[in-house]
Chain A
Amino acid sequence: MQKPAHPVTALPRRIASLAFRGLLFTLLLAVTLEICARIDDALRYGAPFLGSYSNERLRGKDPLGFTCNLPNARFEKWQHNSLGFRGPEVAREKKGGVTRVVCLGASESYGLYESPGKEWPAQLDELLPDSQYEVVNASVVGLSLTSFEAYLQKHVFPLHPDIVVLVVNPLFYVTGQSKAEQKGGHPPPAPAAAPPRSLKESLAANLRIFPKLKQVVKQAISDNFPDPFRRYQIAQTRKQVEEIERMRLRGRTAMEAVPESYLENFGRGLQRTVELIRSRNCEVVLTSYPALISGENLARHQEIFLDNRRFCIELSLTGIVDTFRRFNSVTAEVAGRMRAPFVDTHRFMPKSTEFFGDNVHYTDQGARVFAQSVSTLLTGRLHPRQARQEERR
């Protein structure tokens, strides 16, 4: 007969057994969650079951070193056609009698918060008569005015557009100019090989369940405890901003206003881009750059504003507001000088979170307003090219 274990020795064994079972249970649970996440991605987005899955799949570098969209790439709701543009397939050769409108901008035009098919170029396509217009969204996340020329040559002009709608992100321009100034006018050197990832970073990059759960928890907390969550978010973002300021500004103070030289360079650069496009017998439509926050509603959307600062640390809060205001007037001036049609989308866009997902990206409704204002210009007035001919006459 088996001797019963001594109670004193049996207890640690029992605890050890329980701990082992608990650990095994947690491990199995975590593995199941990860497998479910991968099956879900595969079914929903056609993601590979094995391997990492991130938005890096969408973009790559072209031979000139500029960021561009990868053809046929897909990540979650974002999907490219065979030419690397967001939206349905487009034939390189356009149909006769159809005006091809190419929309060119950065993430605000590529689409971030909008449901698929609701980014403003897609909505513009819906609003314009199918038989007369074809809209192509050639935007790339992070595209700045300084890269426009090369990008237009390589990716847009082969499409033989009739109209190019330009949306120029002023914050990217300021950040780029500031960085160039710091480097004495030279472009920043290519970054050294990325340092090896820590285990935590590597897990975070490869496990698909973590970002999903994080998003769910964040959403649940913000839905149920909006005020404490907002306070927490502000505090966290402020910390991040301070950290970035320490690393990037290195004792310099953030700019309270945009330097005049930046504005002059921007005006010249924009004018060059317009001339380049026109040299291809193509019309340009310029738009102002809508932003949610102005001096008046700053306190209401503090967390959004702080978040925006992370991407343009060179500018202070008042500097950001000043940037949008002054770059928009430069864009309007260039449009006037060049006699290019101008849509003041910033003025049309209501300044509320119903229309903005953050400071510069739109919701479905915001994208609708943007698309409507561009569509009104294209259809409500003379065709831009005709308008120019009229004026010449």
Chain B
Amino acid sequence: MNLASLPFIAFVAALLFLFNAVPARFRWVILLCGSYLFYASFRVPYLLLALMAVTVISYACGLLLLRSKEPGARLFWMWGGVLGNLSILFWLKYLPFAADNVNAALDAFSLSFRLPALQVLMALGVSYYVFQGISYLIDIYLEVIEPERHPGFFSLSLAFFPKLLQGPIERSGNLLPQLHGLSRSSLSSLRLGANLFLWGAFKKVVIADRLATFVDPVYGSVHQFHGVAVVIATYLFALQLYFDFSGYTDMALGAGRLFNVRLTQNFNAPYLATSVADFWRRWHISFSSWILDYIFKPLQFSLRDWPRWGVPAALLATFLFSGIWHGASWCFVAWGGIHGLYLAAGVLFKKGRVRLCKRLGVEKSPLLKYWQRFVTFHLVCFSWIFFRARSLDDALYVSASSVLDLPAGLARLAEGGGLVEQLAPGRSAAELLFTLALAGAVALLGWLELQARKKDPAREELSFLHGIPFWGSAIAYGAIFYLITICGLSAKGFLYQQF
């Protein structure tokens, strides 16, 4: 059941009715049954088993951690739970990749022994709830939170359907108290939830999926495209990925809000970041804060005796891990490695950069920020090549062609050869311009809201939609609804769902 689909809307409407019809003490039961039903709708039985296994491991280890007083026993239960959860993730997501690489290594050493070829399994949402389970156990171990004693609430915290497939990766400290106090949906929560859902669907089916129709043909057979086409396709992919993932997040947040549950916002204008470190504070926030807290910080602590290289090494290792989390492929490892290198270089050359800015006299110039944004955006776009390409070979081709074939492509443009003709022969430039105009409008509204929320942090999301007069909102809803239903493309799967 895709979030941007009619069955999902019908499912949420039915669940919402039941949620509000039953007494307060049974609301969690409705949400839990609904969440399992939602997961079961994908008709992959082992996924339900995996979810239940992660739930049982995390819940049991959490209670055992509470009962154990000995530090050794506590460490044992913490690691036991973490490794138990990771083993499920490894089995579902990484086993075929590991087997393939072991076989390649055996081949390289001319050894005849081979591991059996394994079928790639569907791991929909597994990495998200496994990470939540791990953070739950570590937080209990570090005595940040108390373990949840009620198995129902704990199960719901892992399985809550709006965030099950693609996060946000919620911390139990944020989610569990909300689940304990589930109240009937108010008119304002319904309105805000519906607005967020509608806005997310708009980003996904009108903008992201339309951009995908320009990106997919290029990245589907990169060797047929050169220079300008691959550069533009990469820029468009950067936009597609943002609108796809932030669209999903808005829909998830909206669905959560209908049930009075506030999930964590995952994005904060990431392409306005002034450095790669800043980018990671704004992109997939729930994930980046997770790897910061549970991977980077412990690594940094253990490498504290290595003053100059400790932090860069910790950053590199953290982002290599981040890469492999995104998918069992060398492209993702390379993508993570690139970000690790960016961040490590950022730490190593920080003083030099400050000195250079001072020497150039631009450290207080407003232009510096724009330059930094420009550079950061391009660094991130370069890394997206590895994220999107189907193989390392494709990614290297795109990287090389973006530079080497660019002059020829630009010359063709100067001669009057259309940009869209190079990117997507047979498609109209008006369609691309229309999509980019919509993307620009959404970005502008997002930016205005960001400015407004800087002044008033208590302001609700999408204030521009419910701050307008009655007649204006009817027109706005009409236009958005039209764009989603008629101009939207039939929603494909979300990009981050595969992770």
Partners in one complex: yes
Q: Are B479 and A213 in contact (CB under 8 A)?
A: no
A25 interface contact, C-beta 8 A: yes
Q: Are B470 and A25 in contact (CB under 8 A)?
A: yes
A24 to B474, CA, bound (A): 9
Q: Are A220 and B482 in contact (CB under 8 A)?
A: no
A224 contacts which chain B residues (CB < 8 A)?
A: 5-7
Q: Are A32 and B479 in contact (CB under 8 A)?
A: yes
Q: Are A32 and B486 in contact (CB under 8 A)?
A: no
A24 contacts which chain B residues (CB < 8 A)?
A: 470-471, 474
Q: Are B470 and A36 in contact (CB under 8 A)?
A: no
CB-contact partner of A213 in B7, B477, B483, B485, under 8 A: B485
Q: Are A40 and B7 in contact (CB under 8 A)?
A: no
Summarize A's interface: helix, strand, loop or mixed: helix
B475 interface contact, C-beta 8 A: yes
Number of residues from B at the complex interface, CB < 8 A: 19
Q: How far is the CB of B188 from chain A (nearest CB, A)?
A: 16
CB-contact partner of A32 in B5, B470, B475, B487, under 8 A: B475
A25 contacts which chain B residues (CB < 8 A)?
A: 470, 473-474
Most chain-B CB neighbours within 10 Å: which of A29, A212, A213? A29
Among B440-499, those with CB < 8 Å from A are 470-471, 473-475, 477-479, 481-483, 485-487, 490
Most chain-B CB neighbours within 10 Å: which of A36, A209, A212, A219? A36
A207 interface contact, C-beta 8 A: no
Q: Are A32 and B482 in contact (CB under 8 A)?
A: yes
A220 to B484, CA, bound (A): 13
Q: Are B477 and A29 in contact (CB under 8 A)?
A: yes
Q: How far is the CB of A34 from chain B (nearest CB, A)?
A: 9
A25-B470, A28-B471 are contacts. A36–B482 as well, Cβ < 8 Å?
Answer: yes
Q: Are B490 and A223 in contact (CB under 8 A)?
A: yes
Nearest chain-A residue to B486 (Cβ)? A212
CB-contact partner of A221 in B6, B470, B478, B482, under 8 A: B6
A36 contacts which chain B residues (CB < 8 A)?
A: 478-479, 482-483, 486
Q: Are B486 and A40 in contact (CB under 8 A)?
A: yes
A151 to B490, CA, bound (A): 42
A36-B479, A224-B6 are contacts. A216–B474 as well, Cβ < 8 Å?
Answer: no
Q: Are B490 and A37 in contact (CB under 8 A)?
A: no
Nearest chain-B residue to A217 (Cβ)? B6
Q: How far is the CB of B28 from chain A (nearest CB, A)?
A: 28
A43 to B486, CA, bound (A): 14
Most chain-A CB neighbours within 10 Å: which of B481, B482, B487? B482
A378 contacts which chain B residues (CB < 8 A)?
A: none
B430 contacts which chain A residues (CB < 8 A)?
A: 43
A224 to B478, CA, bound (A): 24
A31 to B483, CA, bound (A): 15
A272 interface contact, C-beta 8 A: no
Number of residues from A at the complex interface, CB < 8 A: 23
Among A14-35, those with CB < 8 Å from B are 21, 24-25, 28-33
Most chain-A CB neighbours within 10 Å: which of B5, B6, B487? B6
Q: Are A220 and B5 in contact (CB under 8 A)?
A: yes
Q: How far is the CB of A223 from chain B (nearest CB, A)?
A: 7
A224 to B5, CA, bound (A): 8
CB-contact partner of B474 in A32, A43, A213, under 8 A: A32
Q: How far is the CB of B213 from chain A (nearest CB, A)?
A: 14
B490 contacts which chain A residues (CB < 8 A)?
A: 219, 223
A37-B486, A40-B486, A223-B490 are contacts. A28–B7 as well, Cβ < 8 Å?
Answer: no
A223 to B5, CA, bound (A): 10
Q: How far is the CB of B468 from chain A (nearest CB, A)?
A: 12
A28 contacts which chain B residues (CB < 8 A)?
A: 471, 474-475, 478
CB-contact partner of B478 in A21, A29, A225, under 8 A: A29
A31 to B482, CA, bound (A): 11
Q: How far is the CB of A361 from chain B (nearest CB, A)?
A: 22
A32 contacts which chain B residues (CB < 8 A)?
A: 474-475, 477-479, 482
A28-B475, A220-B5, A224-B5 are contacts. A33–B470 as well, Cβ < 8 Å?
Answer: no
A28-B471, A221-B6, A223-B490 are contacts. A216–B478 as well, Cβ < 8 Å?
Answer: no
A219 contacts which chain B residues (CB < 8 A)?
A: 490
A59 to B208, CA, bound (A): 38
Nearest chain-A residue to B485 (Cβ)? A216
Q: How far is the CB of B94 from chain A (nearest CB, A)?
A: 33
| Chain B proximity mask over A192-211: 1 for CB below 8 Å, otherwise 0 | 00000000000000000100
Q: Are A21 and B470 in contact (CB under 8 A)?
A: yes
Among A201-259, those with CB < 8 Å from B are 209, 212-213, 216, 219-221, 223-225
A21-B470, A40-B486, A212-B486 are contacts. A220–B478 as well, Cβ < 8 Å?
Answer: no
B474 contacts which chain A residues (CB < 8 A)?
A: 24-25, 28-29, 32
Q: How far is the CB of B40 from chain A (nearest CB, A)?
A: 16
Q: Are A220 and B6 in contact (CB under 8 A)?
A: yes
A37 to B482, CA, bound (A): 8
Q: How far is the CB of B451 from chain A (nearest CB, A)?
A: 28
B479 contacts which chain A residues (CB < 8 A)?
A: 32, 36
Q: How far is the CB of B12 from chain A (nearest CB, A)?
A: 14
CB-contact partner of A33 in B6, B478, B487, under 8 A: B478
A221 to B5, CA, bound (A): 10
Q: How far is the CB of B443 from chain A (nearest CB, A)?
A: 21
A221 to B490, CA, bound (A): 12
Q: How far is the CB of A169 from chain B (nearest CB, A)?
A: 31
Nearest chain-A residue to B481 (Cβ)? A33
Q: Are B487 and A40 in contact (CB under 8 A)?
A: yes
A21-B470, A40-B487 are contacts. A33–B482 as well, Cβ < 8 Å?
Answer: yes
Nearest chain-B residue to A21 (Cβ)? B470
Q: How far is the CB of A22 from chain B (nearest CB, A)?
A: 10
A220 contacts which chain B residues (CB < 8 A)?
A: 5-6
Q: How far is the CB of B466 from chain A (nearest CB, A)?
A: 13
Nearest chain-B residue to A216 (Cβ)? B485
B483 contacts which chain A residues (CB < 8 A)?
A: 36
A32 to B482, CA, bound (A): 9
A33 contacts which chain B residues (CB < 8 A)?
A: 478, 481-482
Nearest chain-A residue to B475 (Cβ)? A32
Q: How far is the CB of B218 from chain A (nearest CB, A)?
A: 21
Nearest chain-A residue to B476 (Cβ)? A32
A188 to B6, CA, bound (A): 47
Nearest chain-B residue to A219 (Cβ)? B490
Residue positions of B touching A, CB distance < 8 A: 5-7, 430, 470-471, 473-475, 477-479, 481-483, 485-487, 490
Residue positions of A touching B, CB distance < 8 A: 21, 24-25, 28-33, 36-37, 40, 43, 209, 212-213, 216, 219-221, 223-225
CB-CB nearest 5 A-B residue pairs: A32-B478, A28-B474, A36-B482, A220-B6, A29-B478
Name 29 A/B residue pairs within 8 A (Cβ), A-sorted: A24-B471, A24-B474, A25-B470, A25-B474, A28-B474, A29-B474, A29-B475, A29-B477, A29-B481, A31-B478, A32-B474, A32-B477, A32-B482, A33-B482, A36-B482, A36-B483, A36-B486, A37-B486, A43-B430, A209-B482, A212-B485, A213-B486, A216-B485, A216-B486, A220-B5, A221-B6, A224-B5, A224-B7, A225-B7
New contact pairs (4) apart from A36-B478, A40-B486, A216-B485, CB-CB < 8 Å: A24-B470, A31-B478, A212-B486, A213-B486
